[in-house]
Amino acid sequence: MSETVATPDNRRAMRNVVVLVAAQAVVGAQLPVMFIIGGLAGQMLAPNPCWATLPISLIVLGSMLTATPLSSFMQAYGRRAGFWVACGAGAVGATISAYGLMLGSFAVFLLGSLLTGVYMSANGFYRFAATDTATPEFRPKAISYVMAGGLLSAVFGPQLVSLTAEAMPVPFLATYLGVIGLNIAGMVLLSALDIPTPEAPRKDAPQGRARMELLTSPVIAVAIICGTVAYALMNLVMTSTPLAVVGCGFATSDAANIVSAHVLAMYAPSFFTGHLIARFGARAIVGTGLAILAAAGAVAISGVDLAQFYIALILLGIGWNFGFIGATSMLTESHSPEERGRVQGMNDMIVFGGVFLASLSSGTLMNCAGGTAETGWQMVNLAMLPFLVLAGGALIWLAMRPRAT
């Protein structure tokens, strides 16, 4: 393609949204798969139950470590090339994880999880790719539509687990073989993406603000804080959910169904989140998301009946959707085009850094902070409180700042 400038064109943007929605549905299905079986497989292989969620933590670590270089790669070679590389890494990671299961090796399994994180990092860039050729008015809706593609992955991923978890003598081996196929299918789908590669900046072109200057910009700083808290707290609770459900006496299929309901709740609001942002503003939607996350924690702490797990996880998904999409919308409106790669890579590195710490803490809180699964589950949800206060305080500070100045 000779064109190198992504001029706003909503017809082209809508075509790209369709491709990204399809990719989100197919290749994105591996994310709920990993969150359902990662902790269970880790518990099966780990020498210490406190390390059960370490495979999920390493997926997130891989995302954090590759967010900035992957963003720079896309800035230089285009979105499609970056997504292809990520799908290839996801396929290799799933292959290594499958080999680790065959060997019964926790270390090999962890290596595969780390490589899987490259795909998870790329998945986070789908929402940014949706805005590359869109007009400013269409951008919040484009983000929402792409996130809505996760609805299909929320159905497909858990069903893949149900069909394959015990399909071979080694538990979950067939599931990881299925994930290899998802990544290959993703490479085919993403071939249809039509986003021009950004032209290399001229020496006299505007360079934009330095990273530290960007980080100290009030809107960018608050958007990153709120996005990180929304994503990290969702991950903290979701990572422990299968362990808590099974630990409280329910079946693995119950855990899969609860996670499926949660992921549906994560993406279903995306059909109207963009419209709500356009009408009420991103900051109001972020604040609503934080309040819903607090409600999810309160329901989870109240008991461990199956209905309480469902309600808490559904609220958790809705709160994440409002908080994360709202924060993403705030971010996309707060930087210039030449700062895009710098801001997006920096944002996702910080977000996934927070998610990594949350997932690492999740297994420790769940398995080692209390004597029972119920106590561990309560500890996981109580841990949400200080971070909700931090994000809520940052949002209030930003709302008061214009009046103070």
% of the chain exceeding 90 in pLDDT: 36
- Lowest-confidence range among 95-99, 345-349, 350-354? 345-349
pLDDT at 189 over 80: yes
Residue 336: predicted pLDDT: 62
CA atoms within 13 A on the CB side of 103: 14
* pLDDT class of 190 with cuts at 50, 70, 90: very high
Structure tokens at 397: 């500070």
pLDDT at site 206: 60
Rounded to two decimals, the pTM is 0.75
Using alpha carbons only, give the angle 340, 124, 41 rounded to the nearest 5 degrees.
Answer: 155
Instruction: Give the integer Cα–Cα distance in Å for 322 and 317.
Output: 9
Domain of residue 225, CATH code:
1.20.1250.20
As a 3-state breakdown, the chain gives helix, strand, coil percent values, each rounded to 5, of: 80, 0, 20
8 A C-beta contact, residue 80 and residue 190:
yes
Q: How confident is the model at residue 211 (pLDDT cuts 50, 70, 90)?
A: low
In this prediction, residues 305-329 reach a mean pLDDT of 93
Q: Which is more confident, 214 or 22?
A: 22
For the cut 60, the answer to whether the pLDDT of residue 5 exceeds it is no
Greatest alpha-carbon pair distance for the chain in Å reads: 66
How does residue 299 score in pLDDT terms, banded at 50, 70 and 90? very high
**Low-confidence winner among 24-33, 246-255, 308-317, 343-352 (lowest mean pLDDT):** 343-352
3 belongs to a structural domain: no
Indicate whether 204 belongs to any domain.
Answer: no
Task: Give CA separation, 41 vs 28, 113, 221, 232, 387, in Å.
Answer: 20, 11, 37, 22, 29
Model confidence at 201, in pLDDT bands (50, 70, 90)?
low
Rounded CA-CA distance 323/284 in Å is 10
Rounded to whole angstroms, how far apart are CA atoms 127 and 21? 10
Reported as a single tens digit per residue, the pLDDT across 386-395 is 999 999 999 9
In a domain, 80, yes or no: yes
Average pLDDT over residues 140-161: 80
Q: Say if 206 falls within a structural domain.
A: no
- Count the domains in the chain: 1
- Average confidence (pLDDT) over 41-68: 84
pLDDT confidence of 95, banded at 50, 70, 90? very high
**Residue 1, domain member (yes or no):** no
Answer whether residue 142 is part of any domain.
yes
Query: Of 268, 308, 304, 311, whose CA–CA distance to 378 is shortest?
Result: 304
CA-nearest of 331, 329, 311 to 321 is 329
CB atoms under 10 Å from CB of 48, counted, come to 11
Amino acid residing at 233: L
For the segment 22-39, the average pLDDT, to the nearest whole number, is 86
More confident: 211 or 5: 211
Q: What is the pLDDT of residue 122?
A: 86
Q: What range does the domain containing 249 cover?
A: 10-199+211-404
Tokens, residue 76? 């230089």
Q: Would you say residue 185 lies in a domain?
A: yes
User: Does residue 289 belong to any structural domain of this protein?
Assistant: yes
291-318 mean pLDDT: 95
Q: Which amino acid is at 223?
A: A
Q: Which helix (H) or strand (E) holds 313?
A: helix 306-332
- Predicted local distance difference test score (pLDDT) of residue 300: 95
* 7: pLDDT strictly greater than 60: no
- Split at pLDDT 50, 70, 90, the class of 115 is very high
- pLDDT band per the 50, 70, 90 thresholds, residue 3: very low
> Got the DSSP string for 44-110?
HH-SSGGGTTHHHHHHHHHHHHHHHHHHHHHHHH-HHHHHHHHHHHHHHHHHHHHHHHHHT-HHHHH
Q: Left, alpha or beta for 394 (phi > 0: left; psi -120 to 50: alpha)?
A: alpha
Q: What number is the average pLDDT over the span 243-252?
A: 87
For residues 114-143, give the mean pLDDT: 82
Q: What is the mean pLDDT of the chain?
A: 85
Q: Are 181 and 88 a contacting pair, CB within 8 Å?
A: no
The proportion of the chain whose per-residue pLDDT surpasses 70, expressed as a percent, equals 91
pLDDT-derived band at 234 (thresholds 50, 70, 90) equals: very high
- Distance, in Å, from the CA atom of 58 to the CA atom of 166, rounded to the nearest integer, reads 24
